[in-house]
Structures are given as structure tokens and as C-alpha cells.
Amino acid sequence: MGGADADRALTGRGLREVELVADRLRAHGEEPKVVLSSPLLRAQETATILSRVLGAPMETLPELGTTGDPKETASALAARGEQAVVLVGHEPQMGELFTMLCANASYRPFRKAEARVVDAGRHVFDAEPF
């Protein structure tokens, strides 16, 4: 494999799984205002697909990178003020952030290409590629 983790691209399987999850989010009626992504290549590729399928602009949020602190990420999100966003990041930060944002959730790591919908601080829907 070689190369830096930050430069690792999605595999063909990963690209197909993201397309499937994006289609499931769209079918569920999700209409985010923005897709916020980690700066890592595979996250940017994921966010590009989600942005296209869901019709939302994409932006990079450095706090979603692999070294981000979930508390700092939550603060950055609060400062933005958007209500409907898609976040593309990495474990274990995403699982920790999800637990912080949801009153009805206990920690469970995200699987590759998994999406979770949060509404008003409650976990309401999962979109998985399998």
C-alpha cells in the first residue's frame, strides 16, 4: 500500500459504498445545507460524492481531520450555526463527536461509509452500504 495515510484514496469498493449511502440518504429525504469534510483525500472523495448526490456545497473543515479533538469540532460546528450538515471524518473522532451531539446515543464506532442522521440532538436514522 505505501504512502501517507492522508494521501490514501478510496478503493473502487469504497466509491461504490459511498454512492449507495448517498442514495439512501437522498431517499430518506435528507437535504443538508452543506457537506463538511476532513482534509484527507478519501474524506474529500467521499464528500464530493455526497455533495453531488445530495445537491449541497462541500467545504473542508480542518477540525474533522484525524487529529481533531471532538470538542473543538463541536465548537467549530456551533460557531457555523448551520442546522442541516453532513460531516465526513474519521474514527475514533466521529464516534466521539456523535456521542457528544446526541442525547440518546452511547459510543459506537462508525463503520466505513456509514452515515448517521441526527435531528435536534437525537439519533434518528442510519444509512449503511450493506
- 123 bridge partner residues: 118
Alpha carbons 79 and 40: distance in angstroms, whole number: 22
Instruction: Give the pLDDT band of residue 119 (cuts 50, 70, 90).
Output: confident
Using the predicted structure, report yes or no on whether residue 1 has a pLDDT greater than 60.
no
Average pLDDT, the chain: 90
Share of the chain above pLDDT 70, in %: 98
Using the predicted structure, report yes or no on whether residue 41 has a pLDDT greater than 50.
yes
Per-residue cell: 33 = 445545507
List all residues 6 or more positions away from 32 whose beta carbon is below 8 Å from its beta carbon.
Answer: 54, 56, 84, 85, 86
User: Based on C-alpha coordinates, what's the Rg of the chain?
Assistant: 14
What pLDDT does 3 receive? 59
Identify the structural domains of the chain with CATH numbers, from first to last: 5-127 (3.40.50.1240)
Using the predicted structure, report yes or no on whether residue 50 has a pLDDT greater than 80.
yes
Instruction: Give the pLDDT band of residue 122 (cuts 50, 70, 90).
Output: confident
